[in-house]
Structure 1
Amino acid sequence: MRRFLIGGRSFEEGSQELQGVLPQAYEQKLRPQCQCKDPPVPMYIAQVDGQYLVKRMPLTGRDHETGCSSFEPPYELSGLGPLIGNAIQIDAASGSSLLKLDFSLSKRGSRASAAQPSPPAESVRNEAKKLSLRALLHYLWDTGELTEWTALWSGKRGWARVRASLVNAASQMNVRGAPLSDILFVPEAFHQEDKEGIAARRAAALAGAKASGSGPRKLMLAVAEVKDFDAARDGQKILVRHLPFPFMIEGGTWRRLNARFETELELWRSSKEFHLLMIATFGISGAGIATVDEIALMVVNENWIPFESVEEHRLLEKLSGRRRKSVKGLRFNLAADQPIASITLPQERSGPVAMYIVPAGASNDYETALADLKESRPEMIPWVWRVAEGDMPRLP
């Protein structure tokens, strides 16, 4: 059980005493400190779903003891490694992230017209210097701790919790001199009894995306769950859960989207349990039509954990019933032919485990890169599933 130092006093996680001081500490912007180590590790207080939670500062997971629930696997094992210090710069004093983006947040013309979706990861330029649209979604998911799972959370992670985690994560990020949360729109879970309140908050949140006057148009970012796609007169409509209106996407962009995200769409369509997430820049015309400018997709399982292959999903299923935490590694800007730790198990009794899935047909270069990755973090016990050699090996 973690203990936190707040204002010179020590509190046990989950205690009524801690819950009593968190609201005031939140208002006073006091920074809790995790006592898993000496000196203790700074953390921060977040308000999620009306509750006050103590959460780790971005990229400080490695500073905690491996047995602490705030411990996080080394970011070098995922696509996050090349971005730290370049596309993602952390302010040590505040814990906030300064992000450099590889896509535009403005559009010339009287309306936002759909452009090409995010370029394939294989052709991303200056991948260590800027975040692609997909990489930003991965960073939001990672910072919001939505890559983590334990069986203790079963049935407790719905869209409301996902949304709160994303909004809270965005509040810790800055883009071009302003908080990312100022331009990020994540639909609220719909409740009939609060229909009018939700509509009012939605209108206020979308005000920045509406066309006004001439000159470059400001775009906003949307993260939402795709409900379905439907044909439109010129292109497609993206139907989004918890929203009464669709996002329009131009026909050429729709065709490129299907080609670029063929795997994600195929996985999503294979099971009703899976969710398809979109991140998009968009604007709203004078007629009130929301139109996508650039878009990327990500498929997640029933627990909202991202995966990129049938094998990864099988491994996540095997691990989902365990009480000890698992953490999904994300690719960010990295291409599919570059290895990452698919999942890490930070709380195993024998030591933290890094789990690698080697796809069938992996090249010699892939194997060499994998060997280098394992050697770079010798404290992580490697577990390797070579798909071409047969079924999943025995779990740790």
Structure 2
Amino acid sequence: MGHAIKEDVEEGMTMLRLDFALNKIAGRAPPSPSDAEKDSIKGETSKLTIRSLLHFLWDVSHLTHWNPGMQGKRSWATVHKYLSRAAQGKYTKGLHLPSTLYVPEPFYVDRKNEIAQRRSALIAAAEKSDRPGQKLFIVIGEVKEVASARYGHKVVLKQVPDFHFMMSEDLNKKLKVFKDEISLWNAFPEIHLVTIATFSVGRTGIAEIEEMAFMVTNEQWIPFSNVDEKNLIDSLIASERRFVKGLRYNLPSSRPLASVILSDTPHKHTAVYMVPGDASEGYMAALGDLTDNDKLTHIQWLAGNIMPELPPASATARAA
């Protein structure tokens, strides 16, 4: 990610450059939508879009990693725990990320008042900062529904049934950018639709979304982008394989990326690439460059073909 992520190992700090605002200043035009795919050096390396920040935190949380021992042990409580940990030591725009990041804790009816108080305390503390203009927060949560409100729309998160995020009619119309994610969410009732959004809280205490992105994950909270990729991941989990899911960050779909890296194969890890049927010459040339790396075994799955046979897990990995 080039200059977008700078890690200072000695200080235990990571500096993040974001291409979206964390405050609203009167008279300043809002930024143009940042989650449109970009295919330039600047778009890929200089700053994190709101979607690529979600990918970064998911990666650092190791929610992209899987081994058989994790079966049945991933819930939103797990996601909340590791995302909250991942944010520690991350700084952006002069802020410690946890001071502006809201990852809802698991909701329990008998604890709803204390949960609401902790949420209010987070918002109140951030409002006291010396950032100019209206403060913006970042929320990461699982979408329950996008519903009509009396004026505009609202996003309801499963973990926050008592605190809705209002969305303007204009922003709702822009959700067509995420038609692929929404269609997958509609098709598979067991999967999760995760959102990351910036939001403000007005004097009335109502949250209003400024910018957002979506990501779909399977039942185990592993992200995927299409049906074939979901089938691949589900097959690997059922076969008790060990792997790491690749995430695109700012990389556009016109560029190749290993869908998964199998970490349990003998001698070398194995990269599996999902190759679109309409892949361009540029895509295939870039894929050729990636597969020239002899430190990995490389397998390509061309869209429309049956899933290729994958190398078996090593005896050591099976016994672990």
Return the TM-score normalized by structure 1: 0.73
Report the residue type matching 1:139 in the other structure.
F
**What is the CA distance between 1:361 and its match in structure 2?**
1.1
Question: 1:329 — aligned with what?
Answer: 246
Structure 1 pair 204–114 and aligned structure 2 pair: CA distance change class (3 A): farther
Question: Residue 43 of structure 2: SS of its match in structure 1?
Answer: coil
Structure 1 pair 268–254 and aligned structure 2 pair: CA distance change class (3 A): same
Report the residue type matching 2:34 in the other structure.
S
Question: 2:10 — aligned with what?
Answer: 93
Question: 2:114 — aligned with what?
Answer: 197
**What is the CA distance between 1:353 and its match in structure 2?**
0.5
Structure 1 pair 95–371 and aligned structure 2 pair: CA distance change class (3 A): farther
**What is the CA distance between 1:99 and its match in structure 2?**
0.5
Question: 2:298 — aligned with what?
Answer: 382
1:177-326 to 2 correspondence within 5 Å? 177-208=94-125, 216-243=133-160, 244-257=162-175, 259-326=176-243
Structure 1 pair 149–349 and aligned structure 2 pair: CA distance change class (3 A): same
**What is the CA distance between 1:193 and its match in structure 2?**
3.3
**What is the CA distance between 1:169 and its match in structure 2?**
0.3
Contact 1:211 1:217 in 2 (8 A): no
Question: Residue 320 of structure 1: SS of its match in structure 2?
Answer: helix
Contact 1:114 1:249 in 2 (8 A): no
How far apart, in 2, do the equivalents of 1:278 and 1:148 lie?
Answer: 20
Question: 2:285 — aligned with what?
Answer: 368
Report the residue type matching 2:119 in the other structure.
R
Question: 1:393 — aligned with what?
Answer: 308
How far apart, in 2, do the equivalents of 1:119 and 1:355 lie?
Answer: 25
**What is the CA distance between 1:126 and its match in structure 2?**
3.5
Report the residue type matching 1:246 in the other structure.
H
Contact 1:109 1:214 in 2 (8 A): no
Question: Residue 266 of structure 2: SS of its match in structure 1?
Answer: coil
Question: Residue 251 of structure 2: SS of its match in structure 1?
Answer: coil
**What is the CA distance between 1:266 and its match in structure 2?**
0.7
Question: 2:44 — aligned with what?
Answer: 127
**What is the CA distance between 1:177 and its match in structure 2?**
2.7
**What is the CA distance between 1:345 and its match in structure 2?**
0.9
**What is the CA distance between 1:215 and its match in structure 2?**
6.0
Q: For structure 1, which segment, 87-96 or 357-366, has the greater mean C-alpha deviation from structure 2 after superposition?
A: 87-96
Cα shift readout 1:177-218 (whole Å, capped 9, x = no counterpart): 332111100111012332332122111122256699996111
Q: For structure 1, which segment, 239-248 or 141-150, has the greater mean C-alpha deviation from structure 2 after superposition?
A: 239-248
How far apart, in 2, do the equivalents of 1:123 and 1:351 lie?
Answer: 31
1:46-65 to 2 correspondence within 5 Å? none
How far apart, in 2, do the equivalents of 1:182 and 1:215 lie?
Answer: 16
How far apart, in 2, do the equivalents of 1:116 and 1:233 lie?
Answer: 27
Structure 1 pair 200–190 and aligned structure 2 pair: CA distance change class (3 A): same
RMSD: 2.4
Aligned residues: 309
Contact 1:210 1:288 in 2 (8 A): no
Unpaired runs of at least 5, structure 2:
312-320
How far apart, in 2, do the equivalents of 1:189 and 1:348 lie?
Answer: 36
Report the residue type matching 1:343 in the other structure.
V
Return the TM-score normalized by structure 2: 0.90
Contact 2:35 2:51 in 1 (8 A): no
How far apart, in 2, do the equivalents of 1:135 and 1:214 lie?
Answer: 24
Contact 2:39 2:251 in 1 (8 A): no
- Structure with higher Rg: it is 1
Cα shift readout 1:335-383 (whole Å, capped 9, x = no counterpart): 11110010001221242101101012111111111001122x3211001
Report the residue type matching 1:245 in the other structure.
F
How far apart, in 1, do the equivalents of 2:50 and 2:222 lie?
Answer: 18
Cα shift readout 1:128-159 (whole Å, capped 9, x = no counterpart): 11000000000000000000112211110000
